[in-house]
Structure 1
Amino acid sequence: MNSSNSQLRYEANESCPPLLSLLVGFQGAVLGLPTLVMMAMAFGAVSGQDQERLAWTMFGALLMSAGVTALQASRIWRFGVRHIFLTALSTNHLVVCVLALEAGGYTLMTSLLIVSALCYLAVATWLPLLRRVITPTVTGVVFIMICVSALPLCMELMTDAPAGTAPGQDLYVAGATLAVFTLLIMRAPPRLRVWATLVGMACGCALAAPFGFFDLEPLYGASWVGFPSVKLPGLDLMPPAEFWAMAPMFAMVTLVQGVKGIGDAIVVQQVSQRQPRATDFRIVQGTLYANGVGFVASAFFGIPPTAFFTSMTSSLVTLTGVASRYVGYVVAVILLAIALSPKLTSIFLLIPSPVLGAILLVAVGLFFMQGVQSIIQDGIDATKTIIVGLAFAAGTGMEFQNIFEGLIASPWDLLLGSGVTMGGLVAVVLTLFVELSRSRPRRLTTRLDLSELAGIDNFLKDVAARMAWNEAATDRLRSAGEESVSSLLQPDNEFAEAGSQDNPPRLMISARPDGKAVDLEFISVLEEENLGDRLLFLEEEPQVVDEREVSFRLLRHYASSVKHQKYHGMDIITVRVEN
């Protein structure tokens, strides 16, 4: 039996008292600020920004995060999902943005961020078509390679000390920050762990003060309300050769972040509901569309784009029991107020580089483990082992020694010499090879109508005959197919019922043999309740059986697994039947 989230007092679409929204929103802003500030400061420090440019970066990060958070709490066409989403700058893009700055400055980075925005919106639009290419294995490999590329940046920050400080003091500050943060994460109660970043940064700053790491003059001279000096990056309408060399790397990192965003959106969607329900992928797409606005804004400000801050969002909802979208508006207003106060922003600009480097080092380590978890979530086999091993070896090797340097013209040697690009490219190519070398699926295109059941049944009998299945297994396959179609033709499905009279929805069926099993995929256009919700509801075993649930019980009986993914304009049902 599935347990409900009984601690949740307010779901995403429910209103809560204004005072409670204010208190929870303030806590959310305090939870999210350290990571947002850390990423913005780390980008500024690694890219060698002066104080004016750093102030503009901080202003853009706060304003962009506020806008995306507010949009996620809203619903404007397909943008936003009426949920709380704390956002920060993307760890994925920190490394590639620094590489772009080194190769061609802010103009080149802006052009590449526009490419990233288009790719990210494409992920949301064509999400169903990317399922077989950007797999969890590919995603995990790219995560790991980003971590490998980011480690030198962490070391550079941890050893960056102002003139006049004694040798080794930078490492003392970084070590203290790292020790406090790690101890809190490992040993503190769950309610205190969410404050580990803030406490770790505070301890590091406290130790850095007597060492002379702070210059308070900019803080004293800053006004309470105002705008920083505008530092628009500019745009080159005739991109140089470096653009074409680095565009594939930005596109790959963006596609991976989009796929990761799917998982993040699913987590937030689940913790924001009292009763467990299957994921509605239309909400996932709305989340991606909203964050795509952050990608467009990042090109305007010349900073890395936004990313979901899932762990803190989930912690905020779990600790407070409030998932109301109105909390998101409060968080956005607080971030906006900080962005418009140079005095408050100057406080964040004082954070020493060794403190930022220590926190970023931990973040990279956690990011690495996300990559590992993505790879092993469905188990490890020989095929996945060679994909991950070869991709990691090729990517890491390129980080240490670019074997293409001097062999091919610049800037193409820069593209292939990137560990992120090479590792991701190897993983994608091997994944495509595995996908294309599998036995070809048999396909049937028809209409979602009861009159088509006979044709579907003949199609499934032919599939079973080609696999030499016995009569019992054949009947199970036919029954699973029939119940899958019947599940989409329930009496309460007004869309399918109306369509059957005029223009029945299109139904595409594919059957792919996999050893002694067959994976059936039913693709149609429906707008009704998620099939996964119904299967999940059946786990509660109600005493009075609704006649509409009979098909779902039979489907679960005949198939070893049933998956349903719902997108804007498309439903995908995958059924696995074993011999």
Structure 2
Amino acid sequence: INPAMVSFTQITGVAARRVGYFIGAILIIVAFLPKVSAVLSSIPGPVMTGYLIMVTGALFVEGARTVIQNEQSQEKIAVAGVCFWIAASFQFELFHLPDIGAVGNALLKSGITTGGLAAIVMILYLELTNPRRMRFQSQLNVDALPDLNEFITRFARRRNWDSAMQERLTAVAEETLLTLAPLDLSLGGDDEDEEKPKDERQLVVLASSEGTTADLEFIGGGAGANLEDQIRQIQEHDSLTAVEEELSLVLLRSYAESVTHQQYHDTDIIAVRVVPPEGDS
């Protein structure tokens, strides 16, 4: 598994498995064609160096941007930074490495291996020492609102938060659900349309906390527009003449400290960070 594939996916925008299968098949075929390897070997060193600098630089910038923009936990951002320097230290032998055999030495000199192992250990430590995150799953429709509110209440009580924080979390969950699964207020309709089977989408909510801050992650069906972009447009306008579709976005903006929205085909991932109301500890 090459971790650079994540950055390649972000840069190219291509995440289809079919494309990966075709690329893998091409690489397997090329491995049995010595002439292709000879052509690649004939590329001048400065040209290949410039190409690698451009590619690795783009991957590094994209990876750093993904961590900084999409990761809300300061602890995990610190883990990413520490693991990067651990990997670089082993990769470039910034200190004397012990001799533990040919296989062990090869593993220690690999920045991907050492950095990956360090990240696994640190993340496991954070998962074991921090309160466990809670999970909620249901059908993506407004009928799931009572069960979702009960889940949020249980989450707040386990964190020993007061009623004000609990009400804010409930409001955020409700507005996010209404954004993902808006009310269908259309009246009438053809009987043929009613008989058509609906595509039942699943809603998954992951709730975690960092001190007094709550992080809610909603995973559900696509809504067609990026929520983060819509909220940014609302923030850029002082006069809020919100139409009915934008009402949930305006309310969500007032309740949440930050909202990030990622879209992958028909799946939306909305991460909301909620802080206690002013005056609460």
TM-score (norm 1): 0.37
Counterpart CA distance in 1 for 2:194 and 2:270 is 21
1:452 aligns with 2:144: yes
Q: Which amino acid aligns with 2:142?
A: L
**Structure 2 matches for 1:552-563, cutoff 5 A?**
552-563=249-260
Match of 1:405 among 101, 114, 120: 101
The question of whether the paired residues in 1 share the 8 Å contact of 2:4 and 2:59 is answered with no
Q: Deviations over 1:320-364 (max 9, x none)?
A: xxxxxxxxxxxxxxxxxxx9xxxxx9xx95x754x4476368558
Conserved 8 A contact 2:213-2:274: yes
Aligned-residue sequence identity (percent) comes to: 23
- Tell me what 2:118 maps to: 427
How far apart in 1 are the matches of 2:227 and 2:210?
24
Local SS of the residue matching 1:285? coil
- 1:475 matched to 2:167? The reply is yes
Kindly name which structure, 1 or 2, has the bigger radius of gyration based on alpha carbons.
1
Paired residues for 1:398-547 under 5 Å: 401=97, 403-405=99-101, 412-413=103-104, 416-434=107-125, 436-437=127-128, 438-491=130-183, 504-526=200-222, 528-539=224-235, 541=237, 544-547=241-244
SS at match of 1:469: coil
For 1:369 and 1:425, locate their aligned partners in 2 and report how far apart those are by CA, in whole Å. Answer: 16
The alignment status of 1:298 with 2:20, answered yes or no, reads no
Partner AA of 1:483 in structure 2: E
Contact 2:263 2:269 in 1 (8 A): yes
Structure 2: distance between partners of 1:450 and 1:372: 36
Counterpart of 1:257 in structure 2 is 4
Q: Report the secondary structure of 2:167's partner residue.
A: helix
Residue matched to 1:578: 275
User: Could you tell me which amino acid in structure 1 is paired with residue 25 of structure 2?
Assistant: V
Q: Which residue of 2 aligns with 1:285?
A: 15
CA distance in 1, matches of 2:185, 2:8: 30
The answer to whether the Cα contact below 8 Å between 1:387 and 1:430 also exists between their aligned partners in 2 is: no
TM-score (norm 2): 0.71
Q: Deviations over 1:516-568 (max 9, x none)?
A: 11111222234633333433443454775321110111111111111222224
CA–CA distance in structure 1, aligned partners of residues 142 and 59 of structure 2 = 50
Do the aligned residues in 2 keep the contact of 1:535 with 1:552 (CA within 8 Å)? yes
Contact residue 442 and residue 511 of structure 1 kept, 8 A: yes
Query: Do 2:88 and 2:111's aligned partners in 1 also have CA atoms closer than 8 Å?
Result: no
**Which stretch of structure 1 is more off in the superposition, 365-374 or 516-525?**
365-374
Decide whether aligned partners of structure 1 residues 416 and 498 sit closer, same or farther in structure 2, where only a CA change above 3 A counts.
farther
- Deviation, 1:573, is 1.7
Amino acid at match of 2:166: T
Alignment: residue pair count: 256
The structural deviation recorded for 1:439 is: 1.9
Q: Deviation of residue 461 (structure 1)? A: 1.8
Q: Which residue of 2 aligns with 1:71?
A: none
One-letter identity of the residue aligned with 1:522: F
Aligned-pair distance for 1:474? Answer: 1.7
Select the structure with the greater relative contact order (CA < 8 A; seq sep ≥ 6).
1
Determine helix, strand or coil for the equivalent of 2:160: coil
Q: What RMSD over aligned residues (CA atoms) do the two structures have, in Å?
A: 4.1
Q: Supply the distance in 2 between the matched residues of 1:374 and 1:528 (Cα, whole angstroms).
A: 24
How do 1:173-322 residues align onto structure 2 when only pairs under 5 Å count?
A: 251=1, 254=2, 256-265=3-12, 284-286=14-16, 290=19, 293-302=22-31
**Higher fraction of strand:** 2
Unaligned runs of 5+ in 1: 1-250, 266-282, 304-338, 340-344, 407-411
Is the 2:79–2:119 contact (alpha carbons within 8 Å) kept by the matching residues of 1? no
